[in-house]
Structure 1
């Protein structure tokens, strides 16, 4: 079935898009120009956390609101960029006091509480490799990831620590367990620590609010996310600090972030969307970000948009379909008029969802495509570009995408084949931890082979067809048969 194209009149958009002329920017684009828009470290080098937080303070914008945290029990906390800088500095100093050094793996198994963001940024400033884990994981996935990475530190919370207590003795390389347990409404902060555990609040209270110098290069490892495959255990896809270029750029041109935006990304930091677009992209672009701790509940999500006047929203197609199931009457009870740009990622966004969103959000939902390995959005629908319902959009400037046959020859428009990307974008993963051969196998004949099948139409729009393997996509997260067993 053919669906009507959603036409755009750029002159009628509430805010003039950062990317108004796609073809012109593709012709003139240079990644070096993007790098010049960032600051780099004062002593040379590059650091994701510095670009996300400290550079705004250095430019006199430290008083701007960076984080609005909406807790699941109704709590609310607000942090400026300067407060975020100091809290992450304390976390960096606390980790350094434990002997954590550049290259050490620091894993975070936490709900979406502010301490997760402070600690992750602090680990990056120290030069450690941060490994955020999905808080819904059971003991076995946590053990497998910590063991494979040789994690030195685990930062967690009391209830999650109890969940994995039995597997911790199986991790001889794990030297420190830090438990964050700040007193908040409905939470018992007086719970005693297990023997040998350290209290996050005590560590950071003793730590200085200044840290430096930050000493990382563009090629130093920054974040590790585990992704799955059809055989064996999940592989740790490792990114470098240089990835911040792609995350900043796509935040600017795809999410269309402007300084006055209120932004909400619904992804958990345990998944790559929750770090690339729940930490790096919004904060490098200097916006105010809302972080909602609770799980999905349609009324609560609409209430969050209304309460905080969210202007740019990034969510998953599964969530959109769940909102659809909640009925057409529910969104009418809320004022969603603050929204000016809605995006989705994780799996194909069906055309019916886009058409449903037109009257609900008064605009199209803009789908995009990328993977854990790619580090940032690579194919997208843009605010100034017409939306073809069901399409992933067109490649971002600076990226070449193609459809290949099984012999790695390019196919003409209209034919299904293997989606491939020409290597060289800055957010491309650098390795699979302990699986270098598997990493090299992803690159064939000068292309990164994504494992997805797609087709390209005559106008350059890409359309998702399916996976080339039997990986299962559940709510936007890839799960292999090994993990299902």
Structure 2
């Protein structure tokens, strides 16, 4: 066992031992100090040795399924790593990976990590232009993609590796599995230090450090991941993470979920996004749990619940959109609910939490984090959950709420992460954008761009993105609070609230609403929703305008309120004309 492995295990075991003792975990936890560390080799392969417990369980829509043990995944990924090395992948090389929820995705993640190369995950939902953009902006030399999406990379100049059917001009990953599974780190001519090109300084070419076979072991601070953000308000940013910031940083995510060895963990998230790495790779495998996948093409709540029951899912994580769809279904169809249920991606409305608790007797616990971090704030196991609150800072994070006007801590303000000491789970920065990185790391804090309030017990309640919160008649409006009230009405499945221009009040709250099945998008339904708002919202914050529509979302599923705000300005450019389809109340 390496010193890095021992330090990581000690930190992990401390959190497992204090899984429901928030005070002790917060007071006693310290991030492991790591110098040389490769999570795939120094953690995963160590716990995989001789371990036939399931690491990955994939159930397909047609009923077929496959289970892969920890030992099998270690062997498979080493074969892929050796094959990639033989086909020119070197330490520091960047690789765009576009794969679905298939075993080759996990093989590739582990293999690339073992090689010391850099992963650039890409969702299959990207169009050809965006896919090519990931390659060019990320400086990728290689592409690994499912055969069904290969055409998206036709214009790309890179080594191309297909998973699935043969494609002219592409290598086939399936050839890797007939090779040797004995992997030696640093063999095969990887260069020491400065990347695949081998230029520059002592870490470049020349001398014993740059000769074939010398290589080097991975430093914890080496780059591992370049993640494109979902772009809810602007052009996607390129977030840089290291071999410690995500693999080790997700000890906080493991603690939030409450995972234990042997758990069967289901997380609803698409490959290519950070949340997939959070809860389908690092958090469960840090805990020595099994990653469970139900691989559907069309979401079917009844079938999902049936598979959860059949396969004994013990922990479940889903974004609010999925939770809102589930409470429209018959939750009692799952007689043995998971022990642990959590929600992430966007704040979870109290109505959803209440419905699940009534049906399952289990509380859905919110967690807050970003692509730029691991979980920062959460309702952790065993702690009281306050309705609407996303909990308290998790072990390893110090959170301050900063008033943007004064720069001082306040009861309500921007969620900021203290940098002294710097939490392991925080990104290096925005790759290629030193100016934005400096802006976000100003004043001794990482600035999240999200606003929240904190009560006397230290519980933090989400208010909204800094650019989503708005004023109406000089009152400050939190879209999230109004949306939470809206979905309490039986007609509303989902809602987004934005400012709508108004000559008298500057702006009034307008709701875009997705209706539940059986409700008509007409004046009667609008009147019922307005009546609900009058009963449950204060007069200054009441919804004044309403429109039934599908909500614009990023390809990761987050609501793009910026599009709705822009649309409102256009629709109300003429104050004397009411837009078609808009109801007032």
Going from structure 1 to structure 2, the CA distance change for 1:417 and 1:473 (only over 3 Å counts) comes to farther
Distance 1:468 1:91, change over 3 A: same
Query: 1:231 and 1:291, CA in 2 relative to 1: closer, same or farther beyond 3 A?
Result: closer
Map of 1:422 onto structure 2: 418
* Preserved contact between residue 226 and residue 240 of structure 2 (Cα < 8 Å): yes
> TM-score scaled by structure 2?
0.70
Assess if the C-alpha contact under 8 Å between 2:253 and 2:278 holds in 1.
no
State the TM-score, normalizing by the size of structure 1: 0.84
Q: Identify the residue that residue 460 of structure 1 maps to in structure 2.
A: 458
Corresponding position of 2:68: 79
In the alignment, which of 308, 314, 317 is matched to residue 314 of structure 1?
A: 317
- The yes-or-no answer on 1:103 pairing with 2:92 is yes
Match in the other structure for 1:180: 163
* CA deviation vs aligned residue, 1:59-89 (integer Å, no higher than 9, x gap): x5x2211111112332211111110001111
Backbone CA RMSD of aligned residues: 2.5
Distance 2:109 2:277 in 1: 10
Aligned partner of residue 429 in structure 1, secondary structure: coil
Q: Structure 1 residue 152: deviation in Å?
A: 1.2
Q: Highest CA radius of gyration, 1 or 2?
A: 2
Shift of 1:381: 0.3
Cα distance, 1:83–1:301 mapped onto 2, change above 3 Å: same
Contact 2:147 2:166 in 1 (8 A): no
CA distance, structure 2, for counterparts of residue 395 and residue 23 of structure 1: 11
Contact 1:228–1:479 (CA under 8 A) maintained in structure 2: no
Deviations 1:181-238 (A, max 9, x none): 1xxxxxxxxx441x21111112x13431121126211101112210155776312101
CA contact (8 A) 1:230 1:470 kept: no
Matches within 5 A, 1:17-96: 18-32=18-32, 45-51=36-42, 53-58=44-49, 60=50, 62-96=51-85
Is the alpha carbon distance of 1:140 and 1:398 closer, same or farther for their aligned partners in structure 2, counting shifts above 3 Å? Answer: same
- Assess if the C-alpha contact under 8 Å between 1:255 and 1:341 holds in 2: yes
Structure 2 residue aligned with 1:5: none
| 1:335–1:396 CA distance, 2 compared to 1 (3 A) | same
Q: Is the 8 A contact 2:266 2:315 kept in 1?
A: yes
Give the Cα separation in 1 of the matches to 2:256 and 2:462. 19
Query: For 2:282 and 2:17, how far apart are their aligned partners in 1?
Result: 20
Distance in 2 separating the partners of 1:316 and 1:79: 26
Partner of 1:261 in structure 2? 263
Deviation at 1:158, TM superposition (A): 1.8
Find the partner of 1:160 among 149, 155, 168: 149
Matched positions, count: 434
Alignment check: 8 A CA contact 1:264 1:313 kept: yes
Deviation at 1:408, TM superposition (A): 5.6
Which of structures 1 and 2 has the larger relative contact order (alpha carbons within 8 angstroms, sep 6+)?
Answer: 1
Q: What are the Cα deviations for residues 428-453 of structure 1, in whole angstroms up to 9, with x where unaligned?
A: 11122222222221111111110111
1:303 equivalent to 2:323? Answer: no
- Tell me if 1:210 matches 2:182: yes
Structure 1 partner of 2:504: none
* Kept after mapping to 1: 8 A contact 2:252/2:394: no
Q: Is residue 234 from structure 1 mapped to residue 236 from structure 2 by the alignment?
A: yes
Q: Distance in 1 between matches of 2:135 and 2:562?
A: 21
CA distance in 1, matches of 2:553, 2:388: 17
Contact map agreement 1:180 1:200 (CA 8 A) in 2 = yes
Structure 1 residues 2-17: aligned runs within 5 Å: none
Mapped pair 1:386 → 2:369: no
Task: Tell whether 2:147 aligns with 1:199.
Answer: no
Q: Which runs of 5+ in 2 are unaligned?
A: 1-15, 187-216, 470-551, 568-585
- Aligned partner of 1:13 in structure 2 is none
Runs of 4+ in 1 over 6 A off after TM superposition: none
